[in-house]
Amino acid sequence: MHQLTDGRYLMQVGSQNLPFPAADIEAIKRSRLQRATEMQFLPDASLEALNLNLLEELARRSGISPSPMEAPLVRLVGEAFKAIQLYIPARQPLVDLFSEERFAYPTFAWQEAIVNAVAHRDYRLGGLGIEVHLFDDRMEIGSLGELVEPVTLERLCRGERVHASQNPRIVRVLTAFGYMRELGEGIPRMFEVMEREGLRPPKFQLEGGRFVVTLYSTPIYRPETMRWLRRFEGQGLTRNQIRLFAYAYEHGGRFTSRTHQKLVGVDLYTTSRDIKDLIRRRIVRLTQPRGRVYEIIPEPQKATVEKPAELEGLEPILKEKG
C-alpha cells in the first residue's frame, strides 16, 4: 500500500493498484497493533498455567463457577435445585405500575429437566456426568444416553405424554420422594409453563450420545401481550388457547375458526371443541348470530348456577340457624 501526493491511497492486489479508503487506514493500524500485542510471549506462561490458572480466574471474575456435585440420590436432586436456583436470574416486568418478579426460566421446567436427566441417564456409560449450563439466553441440561422406545424426539418436540425408562428403580425412588409424579406428565407440563410465561417451547436434541434439553429465556410475546394474557391465568386455558388469545390480542381481540386451525395446526374437530369450550365458559362469543368471527369478552364472566327449588325453600331455615 502506498500514498499518492494528493493524499489518496492505493493497495496492490496482484498486478493491479486499487484505490483504498483513507478512513480505513487507522482501523488497519489498530488491528496490526492488537495482533502484535496478542503475539507477545508472556514469561513463565505455559499451557498448563493457561488452563488451570488464567481461565479459572477469568471464569471467577465473570461469575462462572463449575460446581461438581456428588451425593446419594435422595439428596442429590434437592441439593442440585438449591445450588442452581442461585444462578437463575429474575426478570421483573411492570404489571399495572407494580413490579412483579418472575424468573427467567419457570421453576417447574428446569427442575423437571434435571429430574428427567437423573432418572433416564444411561449409567452404563462413564465419562461425563449430568451437566447444567447457563448462558445469557438459554439453559441446557444434558445427560448421557439414548432415548428408549416408544419415546422419540418427534414425540417429545410435540409435547406428547410419553414415558419409558431404562432405570425403573431410580424412577420409583424419585417418585416415592415426590420428585416425579404421574408418569409421562412432565413434558406436556414443561410446554405449558413455558408458553404460559410467553417463552419459546423446550428444545430436545440428541448430540453424540447425549440427550440435551434447552430452555430459552427469550420471550415470544410482547410485554403488553403478556400482561393482557395474565388476566386469564385462572381460566385454565390450554396451550392452544393461549396462542389463540395472543393472536387475537394483536388483531383487535377477534379470530375465526380457520385462524385457529392454521395457528396451532389442528383439525376442524379440535378447533370446534376448543372454541365451544371457550364459549361455554363465557370467555368468547360470536360477534353476530350465525357469524364466523369470534371475539374475546373484555371481562371474562363467571358461569352462574341456578339454585335448586329445594334449596330456596331451605334458605330461611339455614339463615335462622346460622
pLDDT at 68: 81
Spatial CA neighbour of 19 closest among 30, 9, 4, 6: 9
Look up the CATH number of domain 73-216.
3.30.565.60
1.10.10.10, 2.60.120.560, 1.20.120.640, 2.60.40.10: which CATH number matches 231-296? Answer: 1.10.10.10
Packed helices 107-120 and 73-85: angle between N→C axes, nearest 10 degrees: 150
Verdict on whether the full-model pTM lies above 0.75:
no
pLDDT digits (tens, 9 = 90+) for 47-68: 554 555 555 555 555 555 567 8
pLDDT at 66: 65
Q: What is the CA radius of gyration of the chain?
A: 29
pLDDT at 290: 86
Helices (H), strands (E): how many in the chain?
A: 13, 14
pLDDT at 60: 55
What gap in Å lies between CA 232 and CA 296, rounded to an integer?
11
pLDDT at 4: 76
Low-confidence ranges of the chain (pLDDT < 50): 33-39, 49, 94-99, 303-305
Reading the block at residue 218, the C-alpha cell is 427469550
Q: How many angstroms separate the Cα of 167 from the Cα of each of 119, 159, 170, 318? A: 7, 22, 5, 57
pLDDT at 38: 46
Domain coordinates in residue numbering, the chain = 2-34, 73-216, 231-296
What gap in Å lies between CA 5 and CA 176, rounded to an integer?
85
Packed helices 168-176 and 107-120: angle between N→C axes, nearest 10 degrees: 140
pLDDT at 23: 66
